[in-house]
Structure 1
Amino acid sequence: MANNLTRFNPFGDLTGTETWRDFEDIFRRVPVVGSLAGNTPPSIRLDVNENEQAYQVSAEVPGIKKEDVHVSVEGNVVTIRVESRREQEEKDGDTLLRSERYYGVQTRRFSLAQDIDESQASAKCENGILELILPKKKGGAGAKKLEVR
């Protein structure tokens, strides 16, 4: 009878799954109903390209006026802040049944490998795309690359 015993591991089935690695994704899959649905602000999505002289950043800011976009650069840290406002349109006899558009402030902050020359940096916003040209500071060493042994 002792030869038929096996060791029980309660976590054995969980170790091979991707579920724990994408733990946050579990909660995104759960449908939210009622007043909680749609209240999370969308994230500012961006692309960052680099060449020897500068970084080029393209950020999606759909429906935002350029007056409501604020960009700040401090050393190698870039902060993009956009504010979307609800336009008050009241029409006689109309009732708002559902509003899925987000109104509020969105912020995206990221750091780059090298300090930015703030005096030469430029920003342009057209057709829902914010374009940043962020020249690298001259003489800056940037990130130190380590040799892996």
Structure 2
Amino acid sequence: MANHLTRRDPQHPLGRFDPFSDMEEFMHDFFAPALRMRDVGNGRMRVDISETEQAYLVQADLPGVDKDDIKVSIDGNRVSISAELKDEKVMRDGGGKVVRSEREYGQQYRSFVLPHEVDEAGAQARYQNGVLQLDLPKKEGTGGRQLAIQ
């Protein structure tokens, strides 16, 4: 098999085509809307939950949400978070039109069950820089009971 070099003209439209990097970019652009719909469009917010001896610590990513549009409810060991992303219409001077918009809006909802019941009276919530932080103390005496097999 003979090896030979092919001269490319960078000014020619096909001379700039790199099949590997251009295909990767094409595939990313092609699948990006579907991936965004899977993760964000269905109202799924990203949540981290950690546990200490006394409490659960929850961090939920809610960028672009106003603090007043977040609701947290606790029912025993079930925690529910809902948030509303509002569509802000941007009016440009000169009557310009929006060419592309990727900003999300709508309702997001997330609910999860924790192993222990939460003490609602001691629960605290803070929202800063797009992150909701929940401190959820465990209710005393709700550790459950393990049954002995007979």
TM over 0.5: yes
The 3-state SS of whatever aligns with 2:120 is coil
Deviation at 1:138, TM superposition (A): 1.0
Deviation at 1:126, TM superposition (A): 0.1
Deviation at 1:79, TM superposition (A): 0.4
1:93 to 1:38, Cα distance in 2 relative to 1, 3 A: farther
Residue 123 of structure 2 is matched in structure 1 by 121
- Spell out, residue by residue over 1:90-144, the C-alpha distance to the aligned partner (whole angstroms, 9 max, x if none): 22321011211110001010000011011110100000111000011111124x5
CA distance in 1 between counterparts of 2:148 and 2:46 reads 32
The 3-state SS of whatever aligns with 1:119 is helix
Residue 11 of structure 2 is matched in structure 1 by none
CA distance in 2 between counterparts of 1:99 and 1:59 reads 24
Deviation at 1:43, TM superposition (A): 2.1
Residue 8 of structure 2 is matched in structure 1 by none
Residue 45 of structure 2 is matched in structure 1 by 44
CA distance in 2 between counterparts of 1:146 and 1:98 reads 59
CA distance in 2 between counterparts of 1:59 and 1:147 reads 38
Asked if 1:97 is matched to 2:105, the reply is: no
Residue 55 of structure 2 is matched in structure 1 by 54
CA distance in 2 between counterparts of 1:116 and 1:107 reads 19
The 3-state SS of whatever aligns with 2:48 is strand
Is contact 2:43–2:107 with CA below 8 Å preserved after alignment? no
Unaligned runs of 5+ in 2: 1-27
1:100 to 1:112, Cα distance in 2 relative to 1, 3 A: same
Unaligned runs of 5+ in 1: 1-28
The count of corresponding residues between Structure 1 and Structure 2 is 117
Summarize the alignment of residues 61-80 of structure 1 with structure 2, pairs less than 5 Å apart: 61-80=62-81
**Which segment drifts farther, 66-75 or 37-46?**
37-46
Is contact 1:86–1:103 with CA below 8 Å preserved after alignment? yes
Higher helix share: 2
Alignment identity in percent?
Answer: 40
CA distance in 1 between counterparts of 2:31 and 2:143 reads 48
TM-score by length of 1: 0.68
CA distance in 2 between counterparts of 1:106 and 1:137 reads 28
